[in-house]
Amino acid sequence: MAALSLFLALVLLGAAVHKALQRERLTQATARLTGLTAPLAMLMLVLAGVLEALAALAILIPATRAAGLAGAAIVWTIYAAALLRRRGTVLDCGCDFVRSDKPVGTATILRPALLAALAIGGAIAPPGGWTIETPFAAAALIALWLAASELAALTAPAHSQRRARS
C-alpha cells in the first residue's frame, strides 16, 4: 500500500503543479467544465490545487494518510462527476499537459473515478511500511499511468480510421 499511496500523492502533486503552471488554460477549462465565470473558475482552480497539494502532503504523513486519501477521493469524485455532466461535449478538460479539445468520453470520466477508487481502497487498507522498493514501484505506477493517459488521448484508433475511409 505504501507504493500506491506514494503514487497517488505524486499524481496529486503533479496536478497541483500543473494548475499553478498553466493557470490561464486551466481557468478556461474549469470555466467550460463547470459553467462558472472566469473569476469564479480561477477561484475554483486555486481551491482545487490547494486541496490536491494538501491531500498529497497528508498522504505522505503516516498519521494523516487515511484522511489525505479520503480527501483525494473526494476531489477526484467531484472531477468525475463534473466530467460525467459534460459527457460528449467537445472541450479541453485540462486533464493532460497539453491542450486537447475533444469530446468528453468514457476514458476521460473513468480516469478520476479510478483514482478515487484507488484512494478509497488505500484509505481503508492497512498501511504498509516503506521499503527500498516503494519509490521504484510508485515510479513504475506513474509511468504506467502516463502511458495509459497517452493511449487514451489518441483521438481515433487506427481501426476506426480505416473504417471511416471505406
Give dist(CA 55, CA 51) in Å, integer: 6
Q: How many CB atoms lie within 10 A of CB 38?
A: 12
What pLDDT is recorded for position 155?
Answer: 57
Query: 93 phi and psi, to 5 degrees?
Result: -80, -10
Provide CB contacts within 8 A for 95, sequence distance 6+.
108, 111, 149
Task: State the pTM of this model.
Answer: 0.84
Q: What 3-state class would DSSP assign to 157?
A: coil
What pLDDT is recorded for position 104?
Answer: 85
Query: 128 phi and psi, to 5 degrees?
Result: -100, 155
Cα 83 to the chain's mean position, in Å? 12
Low-confidence ranges of the chain (pLDDT < 70): 94, 97, 155-166
Give dist(CA 59, CA 53) in Å, integer: 10
Span 114-151, pLDDT tens digits:
999 999 999 998 887 888 998 998 999 989 988 887 78
